[in-house]
Structure 1
Amino acid sequence: MEVFHIPRRGSMLMWAMAIQLILCRISVFATDSTTACKLISESKSERSILNKLEPLAHKNITADVTNGDDSYTYVFQLCGDADGIHLAGVIQKDKKAEKKPTVIGRYNATQAIGGSDWVMLIYGSGDTYDAHCSQETRKAIIMISCNRNTDMGPLEVVLEDRERTRDCFYLFELDSSAVCPVIVSHISSGSIILIIVFCLVTVYLVGGFLYQRLIVGAKGMEQFPNYAFWVEVGNLTADGCDFVCRSKNRDEAPAYRGLSTDALEEQPEERDDHLLPM
């Protein structure tokens, strides 16, 4: 008789909790992007510029500024709630006064302008001025420049330009390697082949030397891998060069004109023993 095992209620509850945790993690990773930024005028070029800043997304970057009796803390976040304030991209907090932080710019009104090694991010629709700039809304401009030595540098407050009737803004600077251009390799295919050949030769020599010395027990020049083969190749190469490059021996010109080479040939030895007195 076949018995079916019915899962217990406790195990079913654990499986449900595990699935919920996985879904929560997936939702967290899905929101960890620049898609939360709403462009004022949606375009592929601006969206691609924002995608370059992905490594900076959802990270609070702060800067402290003291000007006379005033002391402020600025918090910037890319496409996320700065200091937990809904839709706030940049906020200003007064360290001395216990009051609500001022929203300088919101990421639901974003503009992105980029160059080869910089990005200018603009957050609009901030809180309105009280007595400046015709009581228009605040605006934050974050200038992000290329710096290959840091993933995310400190935030610097450059100025607050509010002494005008319109288009007032806060200017910030930030260094990051995220906006740096990709370094294109200029190594040619021939150089790559030479590098590969050099690596193979190095492995052959080192590996062969270790094998000959440690396994075979060779000494001296015999430690060189395939020593006999390479010696034979060297001899054959030398013979080939001698055959191709060297010419045949030629007869030397006679020392005196009018004499043939036959006359200069060695004459047979004449014996004069018969001339001696008996």
Structure 2
Amino acid sequence: MSRVVSSKHRNNLIIHLVLIAGAAVMVLPFLWMILTSLKTTTEATQIPITIFPAEPSFRGYVDALRQSAFLHYYANTLMAAFMKTLFPVVFSAMAAFAFARIRFPGRGLCFFLIISVMMIPNPVFYTPQYLMMSKLGLVNTTTALWITSLVSPFATFLLRQFFLGISKELEEAAVLDGCNPFQIFRYIMLPLVKSALVAVVIIQLLWSWNELQWPLIINSSPEKLTLSAGLATLVSMFGTDYPVLMAGAFMAVVPMLILFFIFQRRFIEGVAFSASKG
């Protein structure tokens, strides 16, 4: 018995060491970014490398805000992230409910096509999307940042898994009370999938907040870029001024970190439940 317990403790120790190592790999770059943002340009590029700044300075933050269109990047990103979260969540929730609860001809084929879109890399769609935006006269506008992302196949799939896990007796009772499908969706189903909705909102926000390629493709004006695209321009604008670049990166990351820490419990619940229903 003692050998079994000892073996179990050893396995747990190994697992925890692996998890700690994995966490360190993910956290250390973030800490390095913060420390570099507080260094001078000389300290950030000198050899041998120094870990901590000799005299912490906020010059990088001041220069990032003063010498670039950083506030424009923030405004554009907030607007694009809001629109690319609101519409996909609303439309995907309705589509997911239909695929989970309403029987109609071609339901399986339609859902298969939606899932198939998830297998195609996003850059494949950039050329036709750009041509569409050009025809509509939306190139180099903030509208083009979000109008191509009104529906999310991933959000549809995730929410469908939740709707499938809800007891049909609730729906049948609502029908007996005279509820139509939209009322069932609005007043019965949505309140029961709050964790899934929070997970979808966070995922959509992260994707839109960190998107780089599409903003660079559709916009050429610095005032129309998002944070990720704007940070890419800091390299050419400031050369090797890494404190400025790291300061900008830190200011771009902070809002999403705060959001995740606030809603992390519901986010984990949502992802875990959908996986168990997969």
The TM-score with structure 2 as length reference comes to 0.21
Higher helix share: 2
The structure with higher relative contact order (CA 8 Å, sep 6+) is 2
TM-score (norm 1): 0.21
Q: Which has the higher strand share?
A: 1
Larger Rg: 1
